């Protein structure tokens, strides 16, 4: 009887393990490949080596890529947090003409596949490029035009905003009206209420969205790939694409090492922040603040 | 401070929440807005606070029109049902927040915080966060936060509804005592008629956005102007029976549906009524007694123990009558009882409009 219970209980686990094993095997392969000269299936052949890692870590381009990717991820995080939390407040709290339309429109935009807009955005970015300084003369991000990191950032933020605004609106919706009324009566302006009373209460939501945005920015591919001509030196994901496609024979050892290198920060980040990430899905603020 | 509402209207889209409200609150008075949920009392309160703008009509504080003033410019304090403490601040920060916004010196904040927290007995809780306080303590902190501003007008939005019954009673007393001592004009919104009756100087009964009555608690209880008020005020609520006016031997009686007649004392003669008119006859359960010589015969359908007394529900013909008795008498379900009615306490309402037939 007991053994039967046990086996029935373990059935779902066995099923889950089986369907997720291809992903595990894939990652395991990547991990092993970085330390071997060659592999046949899952079997390392030709012995272990650190050459793959040495090759990429010595390559100055890698650190350039890490820098760019980091700027993109961080920029996306900051941009999304600022704009979403500011936009979500009036959408959650104020009555104004067009509010409903705006909300449903942004939801539709979110459902839209971003690929369909790539060509249109190309023209927009080209147009922005024509603006002096702002277009292509800024330090660090190069500007907001075509073929600049800032341009990629701008487009990434725009694509992610509907999600960010909706999430933040959900968090604002959860705060009781009375607290805001109490603040208004105590002498706050609307802005100060937002800044000093409401934002501290949705801190878990901000953290979750921030982490989400960072991870999204860190691994984004299609936008940097499309809007940076020099995609090779753009971000890590595009570099990885370059290594695994093209007319040269592919060095899977190096490609795997770059892939793993890109993966590691995310993995660490995730380990420490998954508790906040879960809040996005529960939407609550249990134990918050 | 004197507060006056003149022809106040507030509607949301096409729903009218407050209709043409006219009301004066005297200096130092505590006025309760009483009504079932959705009657417009909280809307009125938030309009007074300046959170909502009136659709039409005016609000005057000491004769000055404040319609366009922001909540922070109105010199008010407000206490909410949900307490509405700022969860990321501790009790002290909550209490002095309004002074922080006014950039008052630190010594003044500490002095004032001590003054109000001593008044409310929460001095030892000041470094706790809202989540570490019980409901009653949170409500005290919220009250302290409202009082520290030394407001000219205090607004209460069902402040005791989330507390348990015992705490509610002691807080009721305490709020009333503080309010009287400090002499702050107050508006108190509640759906609990006991709260309104025990605390308020005057009670404004609201129903569907209309002001039905604005009188003292005694007046409200003794001279209900409408059927709604008669039933809403008092617990257990007033018995309402259909009856017909009948003149017997030259004196006016009511005839209940089962044929029983009861004489109407002269001072309770319904106005502008004639023989044969149908009326709603109201009598409170405490004015109905078990009496073996009583002329009304009923059948017990339900007995409820209220501790100090028993509530007996009986049928008189087809109609329901509740009465209060002392516990210990051996009344059983389905037994027949005789009842006497104190007709000097009778109320009469128009059968159609529900308006009183006795009072001005």
Residue A200: which of B77, B83, B88 has the nearest Cβ? B88
| Interval A100-131: pLDDT, tens | 999 999 888 888 887 888 899 999 999 998 88
pLDDT digits (tens, 9 = 90+) for B274-320: 888 999 999 999 999 988 888 899 999 999 888 888 888 888 888 99
Looking at B197, B230, B263, the residue that finishes a domain is B230
User: Domain check: are B85 and B40 in the same one?
Assistant: yes
| B157: chain A residues, CB-CB within 8 Å | 178
Q: CB within 8 A of A214, min separation 6: which ones?
A: A73, A74, A76, A77, A269
If asked whether residues B225 and B243 sit together in one domain, one would say no
User: CA-based angle B281:B282:B283, to the nearest 5?
Assistant: 125
How many interface pairs between A and B have CB atoms less than 8 angstroms apart? Answer: 65
Q: List pLDDT tens digits, range A73-103.
A: 999 999 999 999 999 999 999 888 999 999 9
Nearest to A182 among B74, B78, B88 (CB): B78
Per the structure, the count of domains in chain B is 2
Last-in-domain residue among B230, B250, B274: B230
**Contact: A185, B102; criterion CB under 8 Å:** no
Q: CA-based diameter of chain B, in Å?
A: 82
Q: Identify whether B37 is part of a domain.
A: yes
Cβ-defined contact of B72 to A192 (cutoff 8 Å):
no
A199 touches chain B (CB under 8 A): no
- Domains of chain A by residue range: 2-52, 60-282
Report A:13-52 residues touching B (Cβ under 8 A).
Answer: none
Contacting residues of B for A201, CB less than 8 Å apart: 87-88
What is the structure's pLDDT at B156?
96
C-alpha span between B295 and B342 (Å, rounded): 11
Q: Which CATH number do you get for residue B160?
A: 3.40.50.300
In this predicted model, what pLDDT tens digit does every residue of B172-206 receive, in sequence order? 999 999 999 999 999 999 999 999 999 999 999 99
Cα–Cα distance measured from residue B250 to residue B253, given in angstroms and rounded to the nearest whole number: 9
At B220 the pLDDT is: 92
| Contact (CB<8Å) B51/A178 | no
Helix (H, G, I), strand (E, B) or coil at A5: helix
Q: Which secondary-structure segment (H or E) carries A146? A: none
Which of B230, B262, B288 terminates a domain? The answer is: B230
Q: Predicted confidence band at B350 (pLDDT cuts at 50, 70, 90)?
A: very high
- Identify the pLDDT of residue A274: 79
Residue B111 has pLDDT above 70, yes or no: yes
For B226-256, b/e burial (b = at least 16 CB within 10 A) is bbbbbbbbbeeebbbbebbbbeeeeebbbbb
HEC letters along B24-72: EECCCCEEEEECCCCCCHHHHHHHHHCCCCCCEEEEEECCEECCCCCHH
Q: How far are the Cα atoms of B232, B243, B317 from residue B259, in angstroms, in the given order? A: 28, 9, 8
Asked if the bond preceding B236 is cis, omega within 30° of 0, the reply is yes
Which residues does B contribute to its contact with A (CB < 8 Å)?
46, 49-51, 70-72, 74, 76-78, 80-88, 97-98, 101-102, 142, 145, 149, 157
Q: How confident is the model at residue A134 (pLDDT cuts 50, 70, 90)?
A: confident
Of the candidates A176, A187, A188, the beta carbon closest to that of B84 is on A176
Residues of the domain holding B57: 3-230
Please check whether residue B224 lies inside any domain of the structure.
yes
Cβ distance A182 to B102 less than 8 Å, yes or no, reads no
Query: Hey, is the C-beta of A184 within 8 angstroms of any chain B C-beta?
Result: yes
Task: Please check whether residue B112 is in contact with residue B151, taking contact to mean a CB–CB distance below 8 angstroms.
Answer: no
Q: What is the mean pLDDT of chain B?
A: 92
Task: With a cut of 50, say whether residue A286 has pLDDT above it.
Answer: no
> Is B183 in the same domain as B243?
no
Same structural domain for residues B226 and B245? no
For residue A186, what are its two tokens? 């105590």
**Sheet containing B76-79, strands listed edge to edge, beginning at the edge strand earlier in sequence:** B76-79, B153-157, B185-190, B30-34, B202-207, B210-215
Residues B198 and B256 in one domain: no
**Helix segments in chain A, DSSP class H:** 2-33, 51-58, 60-93, 99-111, 118-129, 149-173, 177-186, 190-192, 199-201, 203-219, 222-227, 236-244, 252-282
Q: Do B71 and A185 make contact, defined as CB atoms within 8 angstroms?
A: yes
**In the numeric block, which tokens belong to residue B338?**
């005789």
Residue B64 within any structural domain of the chain:
yes
Do A75 and A210 touch, CB atoms closer than 8 A? no
Give yes or no for a contact between B101 and A187, defined as CB atoms under 8 angstroms apart: yes
DSSP state of B318: T
Query: Which backbone phi and psi does A216 adopt, to 5 degrees?
Result: -60, -45
pLDDT tier at A235, thresholds 50, 70, 90: confident
Average pLDDT (A141-169) is: 90
B219 band by pLDDT with thresholds 50, 70 and 90? very high
Contact B87 A289 (CB under 8 A): yes
Share of chain B above pLDDT 90, in %: 72
Contacts of B77 in chain A (CB under 8 A): 185
Does residue A251 sit at the B interface (CB-CB below 8 Å)? no
B44 vs B37 pLDDT, higher one: B44
Q: Which residue of A has its CA nearest to B74?
A: A185
Residues B202 and B132 in one domain: yes
To test the contact with chain B by mutation, choose from A182, A188, A203, A289 the residue with the greatest count of B C-beta atoms within 10 A, namely A182
Kindly state whether residues B155 and B12 are assigned to the same domain: yes
pLDDT at B49: 95
Considering the domain architecture, whether residues B187 and B79 belong to the same structural domain is answered as: yes
Q: Tell me, yes or no, whether B246 and B202 share the same domain.
A: no
CB contact under 8 A, A200 and B78: no
pLDDT (0 to 100) of residue A87: 94
Determine the angle formed by the axes of helices A252-282 and A51-58, rounding to 10 degrees.
Answer: 80
A182 in reach of chain B (CB within 8 A)? yes
Judged by CB atoms closer than 8 Å, whether chains meet at B101 and A186 is answered as yes
Q: What is the mean pLDDT of residues B319-339?
A: 87
Hey, what CATH topology would domain A60-282 get?
Answer: MetI-like fold (1.10.3720)
- Asked if B238 and B354 touch (Cβ cutoff 8 Å), the reply is no
DSSP symbol at A198: I
Q: Which of A234-248, A256-270, B175-189 has the highest mean pLDDT?
A: B175-189
Residue B356 is assigned to a structural domain of this protein: no
Task: Please name which of B66, B63, B67, B69 lies closest in space to residue B26, comparing C-alpha atoms.
Answer: B63
Whether residue B359 is contained in a domain is answered as no
- B305: CATH: 2.40.50.140
Domain co-membership, B210 together with B270: no
pLDDT digits (tens, 9 = 90+) for A52-74: 888 888 888 888 888 899 999 99
In angstroms, what separates the C-alpha of A268 from chain B's closest C-alpha?
A: 29
Contact A181 B101 (CB under 8 A): no
Whether pLDDT at B270 is above 70: yes
């Amino acid at each position: 009887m007991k053994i039967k219970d046990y086996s029935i209980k373990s059935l779902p686990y066995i099923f889950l393990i089986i369907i997720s094993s291809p992903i595990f095997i894939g990652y395991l392969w990547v991990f092993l490949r970085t330390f071997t000269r060659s592999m046949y299936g899952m079997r390392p052949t030709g012995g272990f080596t650190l050459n793959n890692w040495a090759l990429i870590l010595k390559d100055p381009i890698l650190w350039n890529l890490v820098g760019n990717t980091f700027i993109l991820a961080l920029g996306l995080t900051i941009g999304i947090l600022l704009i979403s939390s500011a936009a979500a407040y009036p959408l959650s709290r104020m009555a104004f003409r067009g509010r409903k339309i705006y909300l449903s429109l942004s939801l539709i935009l979110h459902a839209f596949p971003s690929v369909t807009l790539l060509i249109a955005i190309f023209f927009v970015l080209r147009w922005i490029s024509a603006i002096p300084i702002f277009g292509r003369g800024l330090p660090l991000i190069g500007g907001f035009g075509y073929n600049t990191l800032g341009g990629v950032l701008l487009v990434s933020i725009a694509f992610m905003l509907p999600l960010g605004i909706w999430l933040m609106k959900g968090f604002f919706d959860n705060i009781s009206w009375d607290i805001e009324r109490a603040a208004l009566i105590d002498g706050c302006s609307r802005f100060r209420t937002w800044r000093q009373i409401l934002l501290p209460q949705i801190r878990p939501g901000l953290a979750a969205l921030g982490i989400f945005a960072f991870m999204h920015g860190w691994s984004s591919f299609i936008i940097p790939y499309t809007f940076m001509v020099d995609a090779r030196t753009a971000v890590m994901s595009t570099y990885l694409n370059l290594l695994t496609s093209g007319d040269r024979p592919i060095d899977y050892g190096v490609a795997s090492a770059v892939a793993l290198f890109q993966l590691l920060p995310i993995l660490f980040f995730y380990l420490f922040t998954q508790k906040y990430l879960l809040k996005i899905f529960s939407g609550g603020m249990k134990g918050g603040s | 401070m004197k507060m006056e509402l003149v022809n106040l209207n507030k509607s949301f889209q096409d729903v009218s929440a407050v209709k043409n409200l006219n009301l004066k609150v005297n200096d130092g008075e505590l006025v309760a807005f009483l009504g079932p949920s959705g009657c417009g009392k909280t809307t009125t309160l938030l309009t007074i606070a300046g959170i909502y703008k009136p659709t039409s009509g005016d609000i005057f504080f000491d004769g000055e029109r404040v319609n366009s003033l922001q909540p922070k410019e109105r010199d008010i304090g407000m206490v909410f049902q949900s307490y509405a403490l700022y969860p990321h601040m501790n009790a002290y920060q909550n209490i002095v927040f309004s002074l922080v916004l006014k950039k008052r010196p630190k010594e003044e904040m500490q002095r004032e915080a001590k003054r109000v927290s001593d008044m409310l007995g929460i001095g030892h809780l000041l470094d706790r966060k809202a989540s570490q306080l019980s409901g009653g303590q949170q409500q005290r902190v919220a009250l302290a936060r409202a009082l520290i501003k030394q407001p000219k007008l205090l607004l209460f939005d069902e402040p005791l509804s989330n507390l348990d019954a015992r705490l509610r009673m002691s807080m009721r007393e305490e709020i009333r005592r503080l309010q009287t001592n400090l002499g702050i004009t107050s508006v108190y919104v509640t759906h609990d008629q006991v709260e309104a009756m025990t605390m308020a100087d005057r009670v404004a009964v609201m129903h569907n956005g209309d002001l039905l009555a604005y009188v003292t608690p005694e007046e409200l209880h003794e001279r209900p102007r409408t059927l709604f008020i008669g039933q809403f005020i008092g617990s257990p609520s007033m018995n309402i029976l259909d009856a017909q006016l009948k003149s017997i031997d030259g004196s006016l009686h009511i005839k209940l549906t089962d044929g029983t007649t009861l004489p109407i004392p002269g001072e309770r003669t319904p106005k502008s009524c004639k023989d044969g008119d149908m009326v709603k006859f109201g009598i409170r359960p405490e004015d109905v007694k078990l009496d073996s010589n009583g002329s009304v015969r009923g059948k017990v359908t339900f007995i409820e123990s209220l501790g100090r007394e028993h509530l007996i529900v009986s049928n008189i013909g087809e109609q329901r009558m509740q009465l209060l008795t002392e516990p210990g008498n051996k009344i059983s379900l389905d037994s027949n009882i005789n009842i006497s009615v104190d007709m000097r306490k009778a109320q009469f309402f128009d059968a159609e409009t529900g308006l009183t037939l006795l009072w001005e």
